[in-house]
Amino acid sequence: MAFAHDRQAVNAMGGTELMKYGLQKRLPAELLDEFQIFVSRIDEELDETKIRVYWLHDLPGDPAAEHLKDGGWNKFHRLVFASNWQMQAFINYYGIPWSKCVVLQNAIEPIPHHEKPNDGTIRLAYWSTPHRGLNILVPVFSKLCEKYDNIELDVYSSFKLYGWEQRDEQFEELFEACRQHPKINYHGAIPNEELRKNLEKTHILAYPSIWQETSCITLMEAMSAGITCVHPNFGALYETAAGWTHMYQFNEDLNAHAHAFYQILNGVIENYHDESIRSRAESGASYANVFYNWDMRKWQWEAFLGSLLDEPRELPKTSGQFFTYRT
């Protein structure tokens, strides 16, 4: 059986789907056959003859995860999270015991080493859905264009990656602002392989995220490509960055956030060719290509699943209360 069916993800090719299909094609079929692995959503009946693993990519409080309330987590042998930050958030929200939880970070295929273009233009890029900070990036980039005439911005942004084209409608004005800007190239959604190739000519990831990332494949890919990354310390971004990026303090106030983002991004553009900037990006690439590599993650998943093979298929019932104190 292995991976449970997800009706909402049939036409999606976002980060969650890349992780699911990436793992599915790398693990032995005979091992996977012992498991029922749910990825984010529960769209089929639990099979009590299988070892049940719930691989979460969303945030606590998401409607798809509300079945975890009141001890609902005990339907699964283990819950897998994409970061320590995400795991702690779920433990706090649903009262899940630590013993049920495992962190296995997301993974990528490393982007081959390459030289960045050195034609005088500094190319910035944003690749994510529009609600994660594109509304901050566009006006900040426009302001920076008043100071620098050698910068360009590539925007790869659309909900089409998730099969939710209708959600693009509320961002059409923002997309049109990108299309009309002489220094912005709006690409919409493109296949991941095409995007990865384009990253080889990208110098800076400009990512003023206002979304609590539970991991961030965008950041992993950027680091692997030797791109200098600018982003806030929001959600699990600081954990994924591992100290190799240019971070600033997140602020819920959009104007304050935009100001902080402008200050850091301006400094990176102004000093982009300094050795300290380049060596930091190169070290980040080395880190990402080791620790976010599918080769390592495949081995970790295989060891993790193998460790569960002797566990009983039937799990004890629980009310969600772990301990009762009696006087």
**pLDDT at 307 > cutoff 50:** yes
CA distance 5 to 42: 8
Q: State residue 322's pLDDT score.
A: 44
61 and 154, same domain (yes or no): no
Per-residue confidence band for 316, with pLDDT thresholds at 50, 70 and 90: confident
- Quick one: tokens of 168? 């693009």
CA distance 187 to 146: 23
Q: State residue 9's pLDDT score.
A: 47
Q: State residue 43's pLDDT score.
A: 82
Q: State residue 323's pLDDT score.
A: 41
Query: Could you read off the pLDDT of 130-148 as tens digits, one per residue?
Result: 999 999 999 999 999 999 9
Q: In this structure, is residue 315 part of a structural domain?
A: no
**pLDDT at 314 > cutoff 90:** no
| 314, amino acid identity | E
Q: State residue 318's pLDDT score.
A: 55
Q: State residue 299's pLDDT score.
A: 97
Query: Could you read off the pLDDT of 66-111 as tens digits, one per residue?
Result: 999 999 999 999 999 999 999 999 999 999 999 999 999 999 999 9
Q: State the average pLDDT for the chain.
A: 92
Question: What is the three-class DSSP state of 249?
Answer: coil
221 and 174, same domain (yes or no): yes
**pLDDT at 10 > cutoff 50:** no
47 and 184, same domain (yes or no): no
Q: State residue 7's pLDDT score.
A: 53
As a whole number, mean pLDDT of residues 153-163 equals: 90
Strands in 122-127's sheet, in edge-to-edge order, are: 184-186, 151-156, 122-127, 204-206, 228-232, 246-248
69 and 214, same domain (yes or no): no
Residue with tokens 């049939």: 10
93 and 129, same domain (yes or no): no
282 and 152, same domain (yes or no): yes
**132/2: higher pLDDT:** 132
Query: Could you read off the pLDDT of 206-227 as tens digits, one per residue?
Result: 999 999 999 999 999 999 999 9
CA distance 217 to 107: 8
**pLDDT at 170 > cutoff 90:** yes
HEC letters along 60-125 = CCCHHHHHHHHHHHHHCCEEEECCHHHHHHHHHHHCCCHHHEEECCCCECCCCCCCCCCCCCEEEE
For the chain, what is the domain count? 2
Q: State residue 325's pLDDT score.
A: 41
Which domain range does residue 9 map to?
2-107+293-307
143 and 93, same domain (yes or no): no
Tell me the percentage of the chain whose pLDDT exceeds 70: 93
Quote the DSSP letter at residue 293: B
CA distance 147 to 170: 31
Which of 39-48, 68-77, 151-160 bottoms out in mean pLDDT, i.e. has the lowest? 39-48
CB atoms within 10 A of CB 43: 14
Sign of CA dihedral 80, 108, 22, 295: negative
**161/146: higher pLDDT:** 146
Q: Under 8 Å CB-to-CB from 186, ≥6 apart: which residues?
A: 155, 157, 175, 178, 179
CB 43 within 8 A of CB 12: no
Per-residue confidence band for 40, with pLDDT thresholds at 50, 70 and 90: confident
CB 183 within 8 A of CB 141: yes
Strands in 35-39's sheet, in edge-to-edge order, are: 2-3, 35-39, 51-55, 78-81, 101-103
26 and 101, same domain (yes or no): yes
